Amino acid sequence: MQNWKPPWPPIRIGMSEWILMRDDHRHPAAVVVALRFGPRKELFYRVVTWAPTSEGRTLVG
């Protein structure tokens, strides 16, 4: 998967937050947030399905 590239680039909406567009160009498919945790401040990504409010989103990974 070294050469894999997403079909559309993510759209940055914050310092560490992006939305991913997919088949529908009007509605995002997912929201990605970069988070740093632990004593070594390791980088993790939280991905959820897109919905207008957080209550409607589902954790992907």
Q: Looking at the domain assignment, is residue 3 inside a domain?
A: no
Domain range for residue 19? 11-56
- Tell me the average pLDDT of the chain: 86
Q: What is the pLDDT of residue 22?
A: 80
Q: What is the pTM of this model?
A: 0.74
Q: Tens digits of per-residue pLDDT, 2-31? A: 665 655 678 888 889 999 988 777 888 999
Across 27-45, average pLDDT:
92
State yes or no: pLDDT of 49 exceeds 90.
yes
Q: Looking at the domain assignment, is residue 6 inside a domain?
A: no
What CA–CA distance (Å, rounded) separates 40 from 7? 33
| Dihedral over Cα of 8, 44, 3, 48: its sign | negative
- Asked if residue 16 lies in contact with residue 34, where contact means CB atoms within 8 angstroms, the answer is yes
Total number of domains in the chain: 1
Residue 35 confidence class, pLDDT cut points 50, 70, 90: very high
Q: Which residues are within 8 A (CB) of 19 and not within 5 positions of it... i.e. 6 or more apart?
A: 10, 11, 13, 28, 30, 31, 32, 50
Q: Looking at the domain assignment, is residue 32 inside a domain?
A: yes
- Asked if residue 19 lies in contact with residue 28, where contact means CB atoms within 8 angstroms, the answer is yes
Q: Looking at the domain assignment, is residue 4 inside a domain?
A: no
